[in-house]
A and B are shown apart, each in its own frame.
Chain A
Amino acid sequence: MTLPADQAVGGQHASEHIEAIRVDDLHAFYGESHALHGIDMTVYEGELVTLLGRNGAGRTTTLRSLVGLIPRCTGSIVINGQQVVGVPPHAIAHLGVGYCPEERGIFASLNVEENLMLPPRVAPGGMSVDEIYAMFPNLKERRKSQGTRLSGGEQQMLAMARILRTGASILLLDEITEGLAPVIVEKLAEVLTELKSRGYTIVLVEQNFRFAAPLADRHLIMDHGHIVATVAKHELDEKQAIFDEYLSV
């Protein structure tokens, strides 16, 4: 039996098919420019879904819409059962959303530990500081350093680590491997595998298909503000042509 692409989901928790995020006909605007043209997507609890596409395809805008950072949005975004279009960002976070922005957003006026402790708890059951330091030992060593004095890789670890503390169950990660050395990218793949096994729901914006392919349950391919294709993990070979069409530069 073959499931339709949208239902061919993986992950141990995904079988329950609880919708963590459901987006219908989402349009987003920056001033005069129309960045998203009617996005429909569903992410199930425990799933790891990537948004793939070229620069400017609308992947980052989609993530920013989910956390309420695009002031002009129309359509519907339901997160953990709650409509969030028009809801202020701080209220969306408290639905259990953790956001790791593309530019990492480490605060220069805070040290590593203050950066780590900054995001307020949004739900019970976040990782403890000890668990986080066990996962990212470098951060523990450098906890008194100014946040922006860390290397790029360490800053990325910190940007991930600080949303794991908050109890967020939905992680929105934007280009976490961008510009990092292969050894760090490998470490991030390990971390994502670990997080997935703990049941986190993860939406990953990526350029690096090799990094994303083995981790993700599904890939959503974006182009010009549309989702143009959905490829489940088991379809990677048969649908290779789609990746060639939309991802090759």
Chain B
Amino acid sequence: MFADIFGFPPQVLFGQLLLGLINGAFYAVLSLGLAVIFGLLNIVNFAHGALYMLGAFVAYFLLTYGGIGYWGALILAPIIVGAFGALIERFLLRRLSGVDHLYGLLLTFGLALILEGTFVKFFGASGKPYPTPAGLQGGVNLGFMFLPWYRGWVVVASLVVCLATWLLFERTKIGAYLRAGTENPKLLQAFGVNVPFLTTLAYGFGVGLAAFAGVLAAPITQVGPLMGSNLIIIVFAVVVIGGMGSIVGAVVTGLAMGVIEGLTKVFWPEASATVIFFVMAIVLVLRPAGLFGKTA
């Protein structure tokens, strides 16, 4: 019924495009959280993947032990994990604020290993199934492809969260504080803004975004201790490509890399796992600050 596109049946092409868009949505939300954190703390949060995993596990616990389903978890898990993140910032990372940022990176890397190790010990390395919410089971046949409702929802929810974060940063007073704090935290504090508290909030918010992505992922990937470590390496590449600390860069690059990865699966499947790193290498050579980064 439909002609082949570049010699590929449209079902294959659009199917991979959708898959790419879904992966891109996860890259976008995760790298957005990393960008928020990098802005105020100047550290690359290596615990991000583990906190994403924690978000999925909190959703799993809420369901298993609390009887709280997907929609409740989508709200509660980011708050719970975000509060956990705020504690990490307040009691661990803040102590390192005066020393080289490399220490913060090492600390978060250690935290990731501890979190993942702990969950492997108690829950095993394999994934636990998490049901797709009742309202979003099944899908619709678009003629050229089959669209599962849940996957469409993931893309929409991610975009809404990214847009809301952008609005928060660009159109609100607290966003002005966050932007100013990224540029010159000392002066902002001398103006009377409690920058240490703002930093705790920013870390908690970035971590909350990771947990939100974790809950979104739970019905797709299952809930397993290592679900974050598989994903986070790609997300770091996305952050490097987009430019450290750029909100718009994180979102656009995240989606674009997902799509590029999906298309590569169609045209050259063997390269799909490495294409993002290939792009990263090129960007680093041509524009070291990233596509959206400010060249200092």
Contact = CB atoms under 8 A, between A and B. Distances in A.
Query: What does DSSP make chain B's interface, helix, strand, loop or mixed?
Result: helix
B192 A69 contact: no
Nearest to B188: A118
A88 B183 contact: no
B16 interface: no
B75 interface: no
Interface string A145-165: 000000000000000000100
Interface string B177-206: 101101110111111111110000000000
Given A67-B190, A108-B183, A109-B183, A90 B176 contact: no
A108 B194 CA distance: 21
A123 B187 CA distance: 18
B179 A107 contact: yes
A50 interface: no
Interface in B273-293: none
Contacts of B186: 69, 89
Contact of A89 (B177, B182, B184, B190): B190
Contacts of A93: 189-192
Contacts of A118: 176-177, 180, 188, 191
A110 B191 contact: no
Nearest to B192: A93
Nearest to B177: A118
Contacts of A90: 189-195
Given A69-B186, A89-B186, A101-B187, A107 B180 contact: yes
A101 B179 CA distance: 19
Contacts of A89: 186, 189-190
Interface residues of B, number: 19
A166 interface: yes
Interface in A1-38: none
A224 to B, nearest CB: 25
A114 B186 CA distance: 18
Interface residues of A, number: 24
A117 B176 contact: yes
B171 to A, nearest CB: 10
Contact of B182 (A68, A109, A117): A109
A90 B196 CA distance: 10
A65 to B, nearest CB: 12
A114 B193 contact: no
A233 interface: no
Interface in A86-129: 88-90, 92-94, 99, 101, 105, 107-110, 114, 117-120, 122
A93 B195 CA distance: 13
Nearest to A96: B192
Given A88-B196, A110-B176, A114-B176, A119 B191 contact: yes
A119 B176 CA distance: 10
A99 B190 contact: yes
28 contacts: A69-B186, A88-B189, A88-B194, A89-B190, A90-B189, A90-B193, A93-B189, A93-B191, A94-B192, A99-B187, A99-B191, A101-B190, A105-B184, A105-B187, A107-B179, A107-B180, A108-B183, A109-B179, A109-B180, A109-B182, A110-B179, A118-B188, A119-B192, A119-B193, A120-B191, A120-B192, A120-B193, A122-B192
Interface of B: 173, 176-177, 179-180, 182-184, 186-196
Interface of A: 67-69, 88-90, 92-94, 99, 101, 105, 107-110, 114, 117-120, 122, 163, 166
Given A68-B190, A93-B189, A117-B173, 7 more contacts: A88-B189, A90-B190, A90-B192, A94-B192, A109-B182, A118-B180, A122-B192
Closest 4 A-B residue pairs measured CB to CB? A93-B192, A119-B191, A109-B179, A89-B189
